[in-house]
């Protein structure tokens, strides 16, 4: 049998043949393989993924095991799989403890943007990621209701401490308003309010800070682009033409602001009758995927229109937690993996 040091090097070389399908580099070069040892024919090493939501986790683990076991003298492999969300080294340190700031926007209201945001946040948190959620929809803050939390954050050293629910740290203008109070702010004041909600908060260490943006193309988006280094944005649309036209404008705005488009997600893609299972594409079909292809941005998938999504949101427990076996929950979980992938690509290519 070759000396252990030779076996370790052979295992390392074998693992270097396994590539990350998104980053197109081998796992050794990406520092995703660590602490290799070989004892009594058993190869042991760590596989450190770039996100706990990695959709190809099992594929990479299987490929690593096959590569290691193909080395003469190695009979089996024991792999410790973990995740370490990368941070883009070149980004400004406005929020040094936050690895990725991700906006969720839409060209128009009524497409379920906030529903997508809260379920995305909960799905990421369920993987073990440290997640924050900023409700920057100043005029219509709905995150408190959807997350089932109605308190006021306290302040330490002139900074707000986020409230926590479902494993997610949350700040919203809704925490600071009475139930029937209207938000009456002009353009410059809106920008200042959003800036304070981002920077005057003790977010701590987060892997992802999701920002639920107001619909449209206005002051909040421009203020955020100037204040914080957004890693990218997810644009939400329904399939019909009127929503897609506005989504197209939203993509164009973020592009002008030099913010990466992580992709477009099609919400309310089809209605599934809870009684008979009949599927009806109420808002049309395939429009968002076609639009993404024309805009040359990733298509992140479809979220079905199910009554359970609305019920769960109204009850304060997003559907990914309230009904994890549902079609909607599965779609949101898949979406979380794809968004996390895009964030990793952004970080490692920067």
DSSP label at residue 217: S
Q: Where do the CATH 3.40.50.300 domains begin and end in the chain?
A: 98-349
Closest CA to 133 of 148, 223, 261: 148
Closest CA to 50 of 332, 350, 345: 345
| pLDDT, position 64 | 96
State pLDDT tens for residues 152-209.
888 888 888 999 999 999 998 878 766 555 555 555 566 667 777 777 899 999 999 9
Of all residues in the chain, the percent with pLDDT exceeding 70 is: 89
Residues whose CB falls within 8 Å of the CB of residue 80, separated by 6 or more in sequence, listed in order: 44, 45, 46, 47
| pLDDT, position 247 | 85
Task: Indicate the CATH number for domain 4-83.
Answer: 3.30.300.130
How far apart (Å, rounded) are the C-alpha atoms in residues 99 and 197?
18
27 with 47: CB under 8 angstroms?
Answer: yes
Closest CA to 144 of 170, 120, 162: 170
Confidence bin at 90 (pLDDT 50/70/90): very low
How far apart (Å, rounded) are the C-alpha atoms in residues 129 and 340?
10
How far apart (Å, rounded) are the C-alpha atoms in residues 249 and 1?
64
Q: What is the phi/psi pair of residue 281, to 5°?
A: -85, 80
254 with 105: CB under 8 angstroms?
Answer: yes
84 with 285: CB under 8 angstroms?
Answer: no
- Domain 98-349 classification at class level: alpha beta
Residues whose CB falls within 8 Å of the CB of residue 96, separated by 6 or more in sequence, listed in order: none
Q: Bridge partners of 347?
A: none
Burial of 109 (0-12, 13-18, 19+ CB in 10 A): middle
| pLDDT, position 276 | 81
Q: Greater confidence, 218 or 28?
A: 28
How far apart (Å, rounded) are the C-alpha atoms in residues 7 and 280?
58
State mean pLDDT over 20-38.
Answer: 90
pLDDT surpassing 90 at residue 86? no
State mean pLDDT over 53-82.
Answer: 92
| pLDDT, position 180 | 57
Residues whose CB falls within 8 Å of the CB of residue 181, separated by 6 or more in sequence, listed in order: none
| pLDDT, position 55 | 81
Q: Where do the CATH 3.30.300.130 domains begin and end in the chain?
A: 4-83
pLDDT surpassing 80 at residue 114? yes
């Amino acid at each position: 049998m070759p000396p252990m040091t030779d076996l370790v090097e052979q295992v390392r070389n074998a693992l270097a043949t396994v590539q990350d399908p998104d980053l197109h580099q081998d796992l050794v070069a990406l520092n995703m393989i660590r602490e290799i040892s070989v004892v009594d024919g058993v190869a042991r090493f760590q596989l450190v993924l770039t996100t706990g939501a990695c959709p190809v986790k099992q594929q990479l683990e299987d490929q690593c095991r096959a590569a290691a076991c193909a080395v003469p003298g190695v009979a089996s492999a024991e792999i410790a799989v973990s995740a370490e969300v990368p941070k883009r080294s070149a980004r400004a340190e406005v929020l040094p403890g936050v690895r990725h700031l991700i906006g969720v926007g839409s060209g128009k209201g009524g497409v379920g943007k906030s529903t997508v945001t809260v379920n995305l946040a909960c799905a990421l948190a369920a993987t073990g990621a440290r997640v924050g959620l900023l409700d920057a929809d100043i005029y219509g803050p709905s995150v408190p209701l959807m997350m089932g939390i109605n308190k006021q954050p306290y302040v330490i050293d002139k900074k707000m401490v986020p409230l926590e629910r479902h494993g997610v740290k949350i700040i919203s203008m809704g925490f600071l308003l009475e139930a029937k109070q209207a938000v009456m702010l002009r353009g410059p004041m809106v920008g200042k309010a959003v800036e304070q909600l981002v920077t005057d908060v003790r977010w701590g260490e987060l892997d992802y800070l999701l920002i639920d943006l107001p619909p449209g193309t206005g002051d909040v988006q421009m203020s955020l682009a100037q204040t914080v280094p957004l890693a990218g944005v997810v644009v939400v649309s329904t399939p019909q033409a009127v929503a897609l036209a506005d989504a197209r404008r939203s993509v164009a705005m973020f592009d002008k602001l030099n913010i990466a488009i992580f992709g477009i997600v099609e919400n309310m893609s089809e209605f599934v009758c809870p009684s008979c299972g009949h599927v009806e594409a109420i808002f049309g079909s395939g429009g968002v995927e076609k639009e993404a292809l024309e805009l040359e941005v990733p298509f992140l998938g479809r979220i079905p229109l199910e009554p359970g999504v609305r019920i769960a949101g109204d009850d304060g427990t997003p559907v990914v937690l309230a009904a994890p076996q549902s079609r909607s929950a599965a779609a949101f979980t898949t979406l979380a993996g794809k968004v996390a992938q895009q964030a990793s690509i952004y970080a490692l290519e920067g």
